[in-house]
Amino acid sequence: MVRTRFAPSPTGYMHIGNLRTALYAYLFAKRHDGKLILRIEDTDRKRTMPQTIRVIYNSLELAGIEYDEGPEKDGGYGPYTQSQRREIYNRYAAEALEKGLAYRCFCTNTGEKAAKTKVVERRDPCRTLTPEQVQERLNQGQPFVIRQRVPDEGTSTFHDHVFGEITVKNSDLDDQVLLKSDGFPTYNFANVIDDHLMGITHVIRGLEYLSSTPKYNLLYAGFGWPTPEYIHLPHITKENGRKLSKREGDASFEDLLAKGYLPQAVVNYIALLGWNPGDEREFFTLPELIAAFDIDRINKSSASFTLVKLDWLNSQHVRALSPEEFYQIALPYYPAEAVQRFDVAAISRLIQSRVIRLTDIPQMVDFLLRLPDFPVDLFVHEKSKSTIASSLNILEQALPLLQSLETWENLALQEALKAFAQQTGLKTGTVMWPIRIAISGLLNTPGGATEIAEILGREETLRRINQAVSCLRQAA
């Protein structure tokens, strides 16, 4: 049984790199009829913001990533929140000490010092303390951390499904802290204990853990546990190649949704950032992703996150919606006045194939509410053979024609105006152009003249045409 996990720490919002990790863990588990476990890594008391756990739940839910076990979904491997597992870590820390896998370190601030001087000590002086010396310090009540005792000799080799075989010298590995002086475990310790105890078969996580993996494996070996399979994921960068960061407010899932992207489009997009199905498909629903997902097709190199392709995918997903679905999703984006005055279901049918982001909608329909001020030369259009004079002439003739129409509906309008064009020997475009301009005041509109006329209704359409006629008379 495949068991994967997504193990975020609740320190803020969910950026798309994290979301992709969650997605891949989910896709892989589901692809193999396995389970996805959600584990909350809140062992850093300074950075943890408990209220942001909600963000994680929300994002996963919106993305459609369903986990099988988690903090509020017990599957027998709990608790799923690391701060609630402290006794477990203490127990294994004691065992590590007994087995000589770890030792107590009484140094203070060594990490800071090392970082500052750039001189990294991989072996801590406390490593060679005798049991008597250790006992003495314990008796004095000196605070301590527990460090991993990494062998000086030999090399460590492991296999990663993305990066292949990786070998490092043990002497290049540092004696990392396993248990902090506040009694909380570090990630480096907790992840090993939890992944083993929770029966995780495949560890899917970011590339930043690749270089620590040999140390984790030493721990697994020391405890006599089998190591999981590893799938390290290359990073997602922003357009300039820099790493995405929370600090700089880079693309979070929530931001993207607020910008008018559909969750399924974002999911589709990030799935393709670093993975491809092996054929030329690009549009995927979540079930289709599950069916197609294969870790052997994950890329090694990092990918940069760009909005332009997401725009396109989003427009594809918008179009894939049924008219009714789109209408429901678009509804909140319409100005209240538009909902009152017009048939927004009809507008939705018109704009569905033209919307890129949902936030485009207000701007797109604004002209229906207020005829923009527009220059009279909008009526001049070479390709449609439309001039000021022809426009005036056509609008004057169209007025009574439209007035006398029995049904005010797109098809009827179209037929009448096309017939009129034929009778007068004009191109359809020559007739339609001035009408569309007159009733929209825009060069480009989300629909043709007759479609817009239908939305506007007879009264408003005629009012706008009349208005245009007087403008044109003045200009002529």
User: Which residues form the catalytic set?
Assistant: 246
Q: Reading across the β-sheet that carries 35-38, which strands appear in turn?
A: 35-38, 3-6, 202-206, 229-233, 155-160, 164-169
Q: Find the binder of RNA among 57, 77, 187, 420 (CB under 7 A).
A: 187
391 C-beta neighbours (distance < 10 Å), count:
29
Backbone phi, psi, residue 155, to 5° = -130, 160
SS (H, E, C) 63-92: HCCCCCEECCECCCCCCCEHHHCHHHHHHH
Residue 170 as a binder of RNA (CB under 7 A): the answer is no
Residue 186 as a binder of RNA (CB under 7 A): the answer is yes
Of 173, 174, 217, nearest to 192 by C-alpha is: 217
Residue 290 as a binder of RNA (CB under 7 A): the answer is no
Residue 223 as a binder of RNA (CB under 7 A): the answer is no
Rounded to the nearest whole angstrom, what is the least distance from the CB of residue 2 to RNA in the complex?
22
Residue 250 as a binder of RNA (CB under 7 A): the answer is no
Q: Are 284 and 271 in contact (CB under 8 A)?
A: yes
Residue 353 as a binder of RNA (CB under 7 A): the answer is yes
Cα gap 412→136, rounded to integer Å: 97
Closer to RNA by Cβ: residue 62 or 166? 166
Residue 41 as a binder of RNA (CB under 7 A): the answer is yes
Which positions from 111 through 150 interact with RNA, judged by CB under 7 A? 111-112, 114-115, 118, 120, 122, 143, 145
Which positions from 364 through 423 interact with RNA, judged by CB under 7 A? 383-384, 410, 414
Residues 325/326/331/333 CA torsion (nearest 10 deg): 140
Rounded to the nearest whole angstrom, what is the least distance from the CB of residue 142 to RNA in the complex?
10
Residue keyed to tokens 């248990």: 179
- Concatenate the DSSP letters of all residues of 234-264 into one string: PPEE-TTSPBP-TTTT--BHHHHHHTT--HH
Q: Find the binder of RNA among 253, 446, 461, 464 (CB under 7 A).
A: 446
Single out the segment in contact with RNA by CB under 7 A; choices: 89-97, 109-117, 339-347, 388-396: 109-117
Closer to RNA by Cβ: residue 369 or 473? 369
Closer to RNA by Cβ: residue 164 or 224? 164
Closer to RNA by Cβ: residue 167 or 474? 167
Single out the segment in contact with RNA by CB under 7 A; choices: 70-78, 256-264, 270-278, 466-474: 270-278
